[in-house]
Amino acid sequence: MASKGDTPIKIANQALQPHGLYLRRVYQNFIDKPGGVEYNLLQLWKCRMVLALDLTRADGVAHHCIGWNGKALLDSDYIVIIEEVDRINRIYARMVFEKLFPKETFKDWRIVQALVIAGLNNKKNRTFRKRKRSARR
């Protein structure tokens, strides 16, 4: 971890690599679904994820990460256990996150990235094929 500031994903991946793991971005899987990002994340019952958030306070915006394992939101000293009622709708889903980031402390919060902790052996090798250009007349 960086001594100051955020740990870039590249650095986190270097630390995870000896364990056969890496962080894969999956935020795009949750943004366009009905109910919003929070609700759709809470529909996962078993996962290993890191959620990156922007926390807005009076003195500016702070970047922060928490863990999500399908059962609880994990934030250094705090754990919020997810109950079935928390998964019912978007209102209850947001209330879960507001337990971690209360209005008294934070003006607003927003999930900006979701990363799954994945095995390197499942990492897709992306090969880009060169496109053949056809002669245009």
Alpha carbon distance 80, 71 (integer Å): 9
What's this model's pTM, rounded to 2 decimal places? 0.81
Q: What is the pLDDT of residues 23-75, one digit of tens each?
A: 999 999 999 899 999 999 999 999 999 999 999 999 999 989 999 999 999 99
Q: What is the pLDDT of residues 88-133, one digit of tens each?
A: 999 999 999 999 999 999 999 999 999 999 998 866 554 444 445 5
Scanning 26-81, the segments in alpha helix (DSSP H) are 28-31, 36-42
Region for residue 35 given its phi and psi (left: phi exceeds 0; alpha: psi -120 to 50; beta: otherwise): left
pLDDT: which is higher, 136 or 106: 106
pLDDT score at 129: 46
